[in-house]
Amino acid sequence: MRIKHIRFVVMLGVFAIIGIIAIQGYFLNKEWSNKEKQFSQTVMIGLRNVAFKLHKINQTMPTTANPVRQLSSNYFVVDVNSEIDANILEHYLKLEFERLNIHTDFEYAIYNCNTDMMEYGNYFSYSGAVKHDAITANLPKYAGYNYYFGVNFPLLKNTITGDMAIWFFLMGILLISVFFFGYSIFVILQQKRLSEMQRDFINNMTHEFKTPIASINISADVISNPEIVNEPARLLTYGSVIKQEINRLNDQVDKVLQIARIEKQGFHLRKETIDLNAIILRVVENCKTDHSRSVSVTTALSENTGEIVADRLHVTNIFHNLLDNAIKYSGDSPEVRIETIRKDGRIIVLFSDNGPGISRVHQKKVFRKFYRIPTHNVHDVKGFGLGLFYVKSICDAHHWKISLDPSAGKGATFVLEIPL
């Protein structure tokens, strides 16, 4: 499947999921509002009945047709226009709430106009909860009435949540479905990336092996000619070519096998005290002799770099890979600079080149296994995309940090940080 098709499927799925979640959220909010409205209407009916009963007992007339006022979603005040007996009030509240099937905890308090405080309160629990703090301190006063009582439902949200359990259950199923959809998309994209990596690896391996195989084939044809025995110098030359190309093939195979062995068995570091600057100078000298073209490598090594504890072989390999990588991607006239700095309890090693640099899109991907910056059909730089992956693996094993400096101008700068 092409990447644009995958993107289309992903975007279509994302829009569909967003739409489903939006619709589900809308109906969930709508149902919550309906439950609150229904509860409020039922409570106001019950409290109005309680107020009329208190008026009848006290032989007073109500000042308004609706003595109940809702101050919040779970707090109501009721005007009775006369003094209130707490025991009678509690009896009527229980009686009316039971008749209307309001089975949620509530607390009430009576306003005392002499002290200007909410007093004589109590907490009635259907859930077995115990109210320890002072009831009167929790219920706010209302300036619009002189003789009134307040009723609060502290567990209203829990009650509505319980009534809407099926809605939350469906929402949970939806979120789980979304999670699995997202995970499936991640797996698809991951498989797509691995498939592309495998294809690129096979292409790179084919290019890497074709040249030495062709050279060996030509040399074998020349050597198989019976008259070649009369030209010993030519025979020796083609024999050297075969030996050189076989060694090259062997090195490529060893790189692949080494990565496979490292991933399977992990690292077995043989740490020792090593001189960092001495290793860098040795690697620079070896690289100059390994490359036939002119290579300019300058060093600015701090004298107080000192020694570190690390695996000598692997450290040498990562420096060789970083330097070789800088030379390969620096064009016809490679200019590489290696610098060491001791700063803030760590040693910083910088590898800078004069190549075209690495765009931000690829900077975080260059350390992946088999990853190579796309060059379309141009295959002017050889390799399997294992060098920087090996460097990152060695640094992780030593608990070092390797990164690309995004602020660098022309060329690429790899930054290796070694804590002391």
Which pLDDT belongs to residue 383?
57
Instruction: Specify whether 382 is located in the same domain as 401.
Output: yes
**Is 224 part of a structural domain of the chain?**
yes
pLDDT at 185: 79
Asked if the structure places residue 9 within a domain, the reply is: yes
DSSP of 162-211: HHTHHHHHHHHHHHHHHHHHHHHHHHHHHHHHHHHHHHHHHHHHHHHHHH
- pLDDT for 151 equals 92
Q: Does residue 21 sit in the same domain as residue 71?
A: yes
What is d(CA 47, CA 293) in angstroms, rounded to the nearest whole number?
97
The residue segments making up the domain with residue 96 are 3-163
φ and ψ at residue 224, rounded to 5 degrees: -70, -10
Residue 126 shares a structural domain with residue 248: no
How confident is the prediction along the chain (420 residues), in pLDDT tens digits per residue? 566 777 777 788 788 888 888 888 888 888 888 888 999 999 999 999 998 888 888 887 777 778 899 998 889 999 988 888 888 888 899 999 999 988 888 888 888 888 888 887 888 887 665 554 544 446 888 888 888 899 999 888 888 888 787 888 888 888 888 888 878 878 877 777 777 767 766 766 676 677 778 888 888 888 888 877 778 888 888 888 888 778 777 776 776 676 666 666 566 788 999 999 999 998 888 776 655 567 788 899 988 888 899 989 888 888 988 888 888 777 677 888 899 998 888 999 999 888 777 777 677 778 877 776 655 444 445 555 677 888 888 888 889 999 888 665 577 888 999 998
Tell me, what CATH number does 340's domain have?
3.30.565.10
- In a domain, residue 222? The reply is yes
Could you say which of 265, 282, 303 is where a domain stops? 265
* Sign of the torsion angle spanned by Cα atoms 356, 360, 361, 362: positive
Cα gap 262→271, rounded to integer Å: 17
User: 117 and 39 share a domain?
Assistant: yes
* Among 250, 265, 280, residue at a domain's last position: 265
pLDDT score, position 184: 81
Looking at the structure, tell me whether residues 122 and 105 fall in a common domain: yes
Do 260 and 280 share a domain, yes or no?
no
For residues 299 and 235, membership in a common domain is answered with no
In a domain, 245, yes or no: yes
Do 152 and 120 share a structural domain?
yes
Which residue among 265, 281, 311 closes a domain?
265
Same domain, 374 and 247: no
Is 107 inside a domain boundary?
Answer: yes
Q: What pLDDT, on a 0 to 100 scale, did the predictor assign at position 132?
A: 45
- Confirm whether 181 is domain-assigned: no
| Residue 34 placed within a domain | yes
Pair (361, 392) in one structural domain: yes
pLDDT given for residue 130 in this prediction: 56
pLDDT at 22: 86
| 107 and 90 together in one domain | yes
Look at the chain and report how many structural domains it folds into: 3
Is 175 a domain residue?
Answer: no
User: What CATH number is associated with residue 206?
Assistant: 1.10.287.130
Dihedral over Cα of 416, 417, 419, 420: its sign:
positive
359, 217: one domain: no
